[in-house]
Amino acid sequence: MTAVADGASSGAVGGGRSWASLFAVSEDSKLEFYELEMVNGSIRIPKAVMEEGARQWKHSLVGQFLGAPPSLATIRFWANWLWGREGEVCVSWLEDHLILFKFPTDAVCQ
């Protein structure tokens, strides 16, 4: 079942577009549908989804600056100077001064 803004159940959002179209990054991108299972009033997330989520975040760290953060270029420079010997550390802004660091290997995370 796919939820829509008005509480109805449908595979489309306003204008007849699918929910997946709201998140598509490229033509190769796609969202997968997983049937939800209710267990004692809670939704059970399929193990494959949990494992994929854990895999995607395995080499990640979320940091936050208290106060005005330096520029993203400065953060990238220092992150790669400190941890980039095994490959590039990807640094991205999230929101509320949160920064996502994605490391290339297990060794960098040690």
Tokens of 46: 């399929």
99 vs 1, residue with greater confidence: 99
Q: Does the pTM exceed 0.85?
A: no
Q: Where are the beta strands (DSSP E) in 57-97?
A: 60-64, 90-93
CB 74 within 8 A of CB 94: no
Q: pLDDT value at position 81?
A: 94
Can you tell me the distance from the alpha carbon of 16 to that of 21, in angstroms, rounded to the nearest whole number? 10
Could you tell me what percent of the chain has a pLDDT over 90? Answer: 24
CB 36 within 8 A of CB 43: yes
Could you tell me what percent of the chain has a pLDDT over 70? Answer: 72
Mean pLDDT over all residues of the chain?
A: 78
* 87 three-class SS: coil
Query: In a 10 Å sphere around its CB, with 0-12 CB exposed, 13-18 middle and 19+ buried, how is residue 89 labelled?
Result: buried
Digit-coded pLDDT (tens) for 13-24: 556 666 666 655
